[in-house]
Amino acid sequence: MILDLDTGIDDAMAIAYAVAAPDVDLIGIVSSYGNVLTPDAGTNSLKILELLGHTDVPVFLGEQHSQTTDHFDVMPISAQIHGKNGIGEVELPKPSRQVESQSGADFIIEAAHKYQSDLVLVPTGPLTNLALALRKDPSIAELIGSVTLMGGALTVPGNVTPVAEANINQDAFAANEVFTSKLNITMVGLDVTLRTLLTKSETKQWRELKTVAGEKFADIVDYYIDVYKVTSPHLHGCALHDPLAVGVAIDPSFVTTLDINMFVDTSKEMRARTIGDPARLTEENPNVTVALTVDQDRYLAEFMTLLTGLFQQ
């Protein structure tokens, strides 16, 4: 598995889920921009891996901004949700190692050729790195086993504009290239991730382990839960957006799905809307498997088993 993430708080939980899952070999983490800038996402990934005792996983820097802009600034709203440092203002030691010199896109291409159908890619940030890799080497679309991404929404409003979810919104053009490629894509959108919620009764269990990892993760995620209390009081907890994508990549039976040909709207008015293609609704072999519903109880139980087990080591 390769994770491609903009390491904020739910991305950090996605890393924990991937390293804790017994059947996953996490071969690398690519850093993206969004919740924080790309270099900070790389540093956060190194810090989280070190906290979890997994310094064997290499971290690569991806692109710093979308193809349609010449720079990227963290939106004030992202800094509010994930904290200015992306991990809830929690201080973690400076990492003892550095990011790799190879670029994120080149790492994805190399891994696609090496692992082929065994490779599972889980992007939980913008799709800029994957689109770049596809442009550099289109053959990877039919090599990579599967791409399970957190982004978009089929049936609920977006969280940035009424039609746009944050990850897709960062680079709608890249997202459209990915969605309309020959990749085997599963979309885990806001429809389902807003139904898997974590509360302080779960983070309390981590705190009570009295390990550094348990206490630090409880501090990081409590920050996120406190933000949700203000921004989404109707939800009673924080959404497990990114770790749900990792869970579905490992065990697709957590969700029910619909196979449908989709694209990403790049028009100014509807920018970043993920939508079914009316002209291709009846075509065979649709390009995207979209998650529709999730077995919250079973997922949350697995999430807690994996993360609690990891934090108590």
List of residues contacting Ca ion (CB under 5 A): 6, 11, 124-125, 242
Which pairing describes strands 238-239 and 197-198: parallel, antiparallel, or unpaired? antiparallel
What is the number of the residue whose Cβ is closest to ligand BDR?
166
State yes or no: residue 286 binds ligand BDR (CB under 6 A). no
Q: What is the DSSP string of 216-265?
A: HHHHHHHHHHHHHHHH-GGGSSEE-HHHHHHHHHH-GGGEEEEEE-EEE-
The entry of ligand BDR, Ca ion, none near residue 43 (CB within 5 to 8 angstroms by kind) is none
The whole-angstrom distance between residue 129's C-alpha and the CA centroid of its chain comes to 13
CA distance 217 to 168: 27
- Please, what is the Cα angle at 226 between 37 and 11, to 5 degrees? 35
4 is catalytic: no
State yes or no: residue 129 binds ligand BDR (CB under 6 A). no
State yes or no: residue 66 binds ligand BDR (CB under 6 A). no
Q: Which is nearer to Ca ion, 6 or 222 (CB)?
A: 6
Q: Which is nearer to ligand BDR, 65 or 143 (CB)?
A: 65
241 is catalytic: yes
Nearest to 27 by CA among 159, 96, 120, 105: 120
Which pairing describes strands 274-276 and 185-188: parallel, antiparallel, or unpaired? unpaired
Task: Report whether 269 contacts 157 (CB < 8 A).
Answer: no
Binding mask 197-236 for ligand BDR (x = CB under 6 A): ----------------------------------------
Task: Report whether 26 contacts 3 (CB < 8 A).
Answer: yes
State yes or no: residue 31 binds ligand BDR (CB under 6 A). no
Among residues 32, 66, 167, 257, the one that binds ligand BDR under rule CB under 6 A: 167
Q: Which is nearer to Ca ion, 63 or 143 (CB)?
A: 63
Q: Which among 4, 6, 171, 242 is annotated as catalytic?
A: 6
The entry of ligand BDR, Ca ion, none near residue 265 (CB within 5 to 8 angstroms by kind) is none
Among residues 8, 42, 58, 286, the one that binds ligand BDR under rule CB under 6 A: 8
Q: How many Cβ atoms are within 10 Å of 98's Cβ, its own excluded?
A: 10
State yes or no: residue 150 binds ligand BDR (CB under 6 A). yes
Task: Report whether 206 contacts 309 (CB < 8 A).
Answer: no
Q: Which among 191, 219, 241, 265 is annotated as catalytic?
A: 241
| Interface residue list for ligand BDR (CB under 6 A) | 8, 10-11, 34-35, 124, 150, 159, 165-167, 241-242
**Catalytic annotation, residues:** 6, 241
